[in-house]
Copies of this chain bind each other. A is one copy, B any other.
Amino acid sequence: MIHFHVTAQAREGSARCGVLHTPRGPVHTPAFMPVGTQGTVKGGDAGRMQETGAQMILANTYHLALRPGEETVAALGGLHEFSGWSGPILTDSGGFQVFSLADRITVTEEGVEFRSHIDGASVHISPERSIAIQERLGSDLIMAFDHVVALPNQASVIEEATWRSVRWAARCQRVAGRSDQMLLAIVQGGLDASLRRRCARELAAMGFSGYAVGGLSVGETPAEMYAALDAVTPELPADRPRYLMGVGRPQDILAAISRGIDLFDCVMPTRNGRNALVFTDAGPLRLRNAVHERDRRPVEQQCPCPGCRHSRGYLRHLFQAGEMLGPILASIHNITYYQRLIAGAREAIAGDCFAEFYREKLRGWGVDPQADRNAAPGSGRARSV
């Protein structure tokens, strides 16, 4: 039922536009999903999220299974009715928590035993269980359960986790039974281009409806991440959506779009917003800085978000005074910024001027692409914890 088609392709590079048709409406790609780990995007309700231009949001299998539990979500009408978000929802599989909660897990071929980060209770997630939870939650796009490891790491550890992820993807494919859900496989392989390529080929041969690139933004430099993408995307079927998980900074998103990525999610807009950092076309602003104290200008003149109906001075005051409206407005602004950025990218691709768009954005942000590729690892990190 859910299907994808490419609608435009840049002449230079691999950037492309597409539409993901879902029963809950179309998603025009490239698209950015705000992260709503626990069934709410931090900073606003579903109505506010829609106003940002977001088309699809992300929620998390592990977190929702623990609290309130997928049976409770189902009893409350499923994830859409639960969260109030009537558009498409993608759920991550819990695989990322194998990385982010690494000190609380035991991995076997069968699956993963977590000691709950909430109350220490033992929670088992296997490929089959992850799919069962996601079917119960009722999300539209669901993810295969994968084994994510930190980078850098021993080659043997990465290789083992990669092939385990492939075997687990096959188990997910075998049990995924809802025709109204699209299952995406996740390519692993660390920073080893050959391993990434082989993993992508293997999964491509299995005929998934969509593919993700996972295990990135977990401790590598942007250059390393881009190199991994360069290895993977050519191996993925061109007619299926490609999703780069948990990435990232605005420049990472444009770099990945130019490499043929269609879908993104990241906590950066909300996490940074809560910490008083807002994104603009002239680079980020730290709202706590004294320079903003009496500045009557909005964060961005042309931004339609509710935060930009206020002055920088007022936003600074909210953060200084510890008022919750500061995090709310800065988060909404940042999500709106990401949506406007990616809508601009779509338009540029369709108008065949993506390369210019990309260069102009980097110039505005003051980012030297060469220097930036070697930026500190993890600065763009961000699948949810």
Contacts and interface: CB of A to CB of B under 8 A. Distances in A.
Given A67-B317, A68-B293, A324-B324, A82 B311 contact: yes
Interface in A72-88: 72, 75-77, 81-84
Interface in A6-63: 38-40, 42-47
Interface in A307-352: 309-311, 313-314, 316-318, 320-321, 323-325, 327-329
Interface in A94-130: none
| Contact size range, A | 35 or more
A294 interface: yes
Contact of A38 (B72, B317, B327): B317
A377 interface: no
A296 interface: yes
A301 to B, nearest CB: 16
Given A40-B325, A306-B45, A324-B324, A75 B313 contact: yes
Interface string A177-191: 000000000000000
A68 B319 CA distance: 11
A84 B45 contact: no
A317 B68 contact: yes
Given A40-B323, A314-B84, A306 B72 contact: no
9 contacts: A38-B317, A40-B325, A45-B329, A68-B293, A72-B294, A77-B296, A83-B314, A84-B310, A84-B314
